[in-house]
Structure 1
């Protein structure tokens, strides 16, 4: 998918991160999946302490699910002239932490993402006799094309399409929280300025206002 399409999703990431859909797949852990029992950060987290993955709660993705997630993230956010692939920025580390966290929204997403990744491998096996991470890019894209837009997905693929939408939002959130992701969209952050030049004339004209502060 074109990265410029993904960039359009970025503006909706903040809102989409609030959209958990526990009804897509069952929220109960499947056979062999760890049950989250950690209490989380609590009311007074140690913000000056660096936590390593797994310090606060057990990570959830199995090696097979992680491989599928890395491959899917790279289909959604491939390397191009604007930036590196999602795998190079370890976006799946964020996804794994997210679905492992013991909070309501994250637990809902855990019930979407984990079964969705399992479905991805099962569908890959059905179509191409291999796991998703072992497919060619064109084969991976063929599956993604069927689930990347829920409005066009077949009835039997609606749950998979909702999984794809949720995973895409999480992967984009991870990607565009990195310096490399900022560069991809031209975000420079807060920059000090010795002068105040005011808003550009085009912005003032669009708003129909006049600059009055010298």
Structure 2
């Protein structure tokens, strides 16, 4: 099973979990410091089109964005039918997410930024380069050690928790875009040319026919 298919299944299974709830609500805080941005509350102006950074200052530096891009595209690379995660704006989504002044996002900010630091230190230790400059094979070698928390070695336990959260954010960001929904073959919210009611076999199973 390829990585993209696995992520689709994981996303479908976890759609109701808190890790992906509030995907439309952006987030964050700097490591260990209180957020200075003000939340938009429960009544945002839904008629206004917001750009990245309009609601609160963003977090990621250019170096961190490079790391985020490399990791997101390793998790969801481009394939024959869909673009990569970074190509549809997932990095902007994650930057907004970890920059918002809400508790869950403040926690994610610390997790993500600490994880990026770990990735670069581990990459420098193994390959004498930051993570974003490694080959795909080298990046996978590192991520193979942290991609499944239950089997991660003790020294990789925290890094595995970071990877799990980052994978959830990457998947949540990607599969809520038009390109991601197309990749899932999601056909909801599309008017039907003709609807003749539920199929007969469904009505029979429900005892209605």
TM-score range, shorter chain: 0.7 to 0.9
Does structure 2 conserve the Cα–Cα contact (< 8 Å) formed by 1:3 and 1:77? yes
Matched, 1:9 2:13: no
After TM superposition, the score normalised by the length of structure 2 is 0.87
Q: Identify the residue that residue 65 of structure 1 maps to in structure 2.
A: 64
Q: CA separation in 2, counterparts of 1:139 and 1:105?
A: 32
Pairwise CA distance, 1:18: 5.8
* CA-to-aligned-CA distance 1:22-41 (integer Å, 9 cap, x gap): xxxxx8726xxx85201111
Matched, 1:148 2:147: yes
Please show how residues 72-111 of structure 1 align to structure 2 within 5 Å.
72-111=71-110
Does structure 2 conserve the Cα–Cα contact (< 8 Å) formed by 1:18 and 1:105? no
Q: Identify the residue that residue 184 of structure 1 maps to in structure 2.
A: 183
Does structure 1 conserve the Cα–Cα contact (< 8 Å) formed by 2:85 and 2:174? yes
Pairwise CA distance, 1:200: 6.7
Pairwise CA distance, 1:8: 0.9
Does structure 2 conserve the Cα–Cα contact (< 8 Å) formed by 1:99 and 1:109? yes
Q: CA separation in 1, counterparts of 2:40 and 2:200?
A: 43
Matched, 1:29 2:31: yes
Unaligned runs of 5+ in 2: 22-28
Q: CA separation in 2, counterparts of 1:200 and 1:154?
A: 53
Q: CA separation in 2, counterparts of 1:124 and 1:181?
A: 30
Bigger CA drift: 143-152 or 62-71? 62-71
Pairwise CA distance, 1:119: 0.7
* CA-to-aligned-CA distance 1:117-168 (integer Å, 9 cap, x gap): 1111111111100011100000000011000000110001000000000000
Change (3 A) 1:13 1:66: farther
Unaligned runs of 5+ in 1: 20-26
Q: Identify the residue that residue 159 of structure 1 maps to in structure 2.
A: 158
* Aligned partner of residue 98 in structure 2, secondary structure: helix
Calculate the aligned-residue CA RMSD, in Å: 2.1
